[in-house]
Structure 1
């Protein structure tokens, strides 16, 4: 009886070990495979973000050295290519940049010179769009809109 219990205990331990190993080696596609800094540049710091439903996030970053803003839209679960975009504009100067296409992981980067200006920015993944206006300019309150098409 003692021998049978030892064999069963060893088998249970082996099954638990295999299950734990499988759980710890989940596929990489279960999480984003990049960051705003990898896309925009290491000197860009995230200053704002907006969720694109449950599909991902649009990030607004800023580089204090050169005064530029960068926007990138990153999917939560990279995979099959789908329509995505990122865009940024400075209403006071008319400067605007956008990236639109079918991507597996992220759209962007898009850049504008934004030091001392309010910026409008956003992006989309599939049919969920996010736009933020009047952002990151001190006393003005930004306006956020998320919609589906």
Structure 2
């Protein structure tokens, strides 16, 4: 009888821990195999990207149906929370969106209306950041800058 009671108690404890983890534990930030479309939405297609050293990649995506750009910075190897950021800026309209904090997998999504405009965008992971200025427009040549702090 004692063995049955211990197994039942262990099962109840496992159920409690699983429920607690589901309620308070890992967020979408910890999801494996994160993609730009998983962060920004299925309607957003990747139009540009920039490697952040070997730490990850920042992606610029675009949704043709609503004219919005979305940026997400995705770590190559999710793990312990570290400083991760993403930003997008439309100089013509002065519209800006950013996300930064200590994340386990990615930063973003950040969105702005960008149809018919050049965009500047970028992101960072730990001490490496990338910025891309005057991107995805015919009028100007884009300029990429990688910074290691």
TM-score by shorter chain over 0.5: yes
Q: Distance in 2 between matches of 1:33 and 1:39?
A: 11
The size of the alignment, in residue pairs, is: 118
Per-residue CA deviations over 1:19-49 (Å, capped at 9, x if unaligned) read xxxxxxxxxxxxx621000000000000000
Number of the residue aligned with 1:85: 85
Per-residue CA deviations over 1:111-143 (Å, capped at 9, x if unaligned) read 000000000000000000100000001141100
Unaligned runs of 5+ in 2: 1-31
For 1:33, what is the secondary structure of its paired residue?
coil
Number of the residue aligned with 1:16: none
Higher mean displacement: 138-147 or 111-120: 138-147
1:59 aligned to 2:51?
no
For 2:117, what is the secondary structure of its paired residue?
coil
Number of the residue aligned with 1:33: 33
Q: Which stretches of structure 1, 4 residues or more, deviate above 3 A after TM superposition? A: none
Q: Distance in 2 between matches of 1:48 and 1:139?
A: 17
Number of the residue aligned with 2:48: 48
Q: Distance in 2 between matches of 1:83 and 1:35?
A: 19
- Aligned Cα root-mean-square deviation (Å): 0.7
1:116 aligned to 2:116?
yes
Per-residue CA deviations over 1:43-101 (Å, capped at 9, x if unaligned) read 00000000000000000000000000000000000000000100000001000000000
Give the TM-score normalised by structure 2: 0.78
Number of the residue aligned with 2:11: none
Unaligned runs of 5+ in 1: 1-31
Number of the residue aligned with 1:13: none
Number of the residue aligned with 1:97: 97
